[in-house]
Amino acid sequence: MNPVNYLYLSALLFTIGATGVLIRRNAIVVFMCIELMLNACNLAFVTFSRMHGNLDGQIIAFFTMVVAAAEVVVGLAIIVSLFRTRHSASVDDASLMKL
């Protein structure tokens, strides 16, 4: 097997995550799909690290994880406060950005 298959898997997972962001309305699930996309990227980074024979790709993946953790914290806080004010976790309910 060619390790390139890891990249194909990564691309597939990324696409699934992106599609999920587009079709789900529950903010939490949308958020989870974003996490899925991030993880797909991480897989690609790790594969690249193996491909080039150095650890920089893994470092980037590590930083991605840290940033993702920060993002999750803030994102979930936003979802919670959104739910408090609107009693809904639907991203479509927060649709004030229009004329």
Partner 1 sequence: MENLIALLIAAPLLGAAVLLTGGRRLDRVGHWIGTLLSAASFVFGLILFADLLGKNAEHRTLIKHLFSWVPVAGFQADATLRLDQLSMTFVLLITGVGSLIHLYSVGYMEHDERRRRFFGYLNLFLAAMLLLVLADNYLLLYVGWEGVGLASYLLIGFWQHKPSAATAAKKAFLVNRVGDMGLSIAIMLMFATYGTFAFGPVLGHATDASEGKLTAIGLMLLLAACGKSAQVPLQSWLGDAMEGPTPVSALIHAATMVTAGVYLIVRSGAVFNAAPDAQLAVTVVGAVTLLFGAIVGCAKDDIKKALAGSTMSQIGYMILAAGLGPIGYVFAIMHLVTHGFFKAGLFLGAGSVMHGMNDEVDMRKYGGLRTYMPVTFVTFGLGYLAIIGFPGLSGFFSKDKIIEAAFAKGGTEGWILGGAALLGAAITAFYMTRVMLMTFFGEKRWQPDENGNEPHPHESPRVMTIPMIVLAVGSVFGGAFFSIGDRFLHWLEPVTGHSEGHSPVSAWTVTGATMVCLVIGVGIAWAQYGRRTVPAVAPRGSLLTRAARRDLLQDDFNHVVLVRGGEHLTRSLVYVDHTLVDGVVNGTAAGFGGLSGRMRRLQNGFARSYAVSMFGGAALLVAATLLMRAV
Partner 2 sequence: MSPQLAAYTTSTGEAFQFWVLATVAVIGALCTVFMKKSVHSALSLAGTMIVLAVFYLANGAYFLGIVQIVVYTGAIMMLFLFVVMLVGVTAADSLKETIKGQRWLALLCGIGFGVLLFAGIGNASLKEFDGTGRANANGNVEGLASLIFTKYVFAFEITGALLITAAVGAMVLTHRERTERARTQRELSEQRIREGKHVPPLPAPGVYARHNAVDIAGLLPDGTPSELTVSKTLRERGQIRDVSAEALGDLKALEQRAEERLERTAIEPTTFKRSEEASK
Q: Which does 86 bind (CB under 5 to 8 A by kind): partner 1, partner 2, none?
A: none
Q: How many residues bind partner 2 (CB under 8 A)?
A: 75
Compute the residue count for the chain.
Answer: 99
Percent helix, strand and coil across the chain, each to the nearest 5 = 80, 0, 20
Q: Which residue has the tokens 């479509």?
A: 92
Q: Which of residues 33-92 bind partner 1 (CB under 8 A)?
A: 91-92
Q: How far is the CB of 51 from partner 1 (least distance, A)?
A: 18
Q: Which does 94 bind (CB under 5 to 8 A by kind): partner 2, partner 1, none?
A: partner 1
- Measured N-to-C along each axis, helices 27-52 and 4-23 cross at an angle, to the nearest 10 degrees, of 160
4 contributes a contact to partner 2 by CB under 8 A = yes
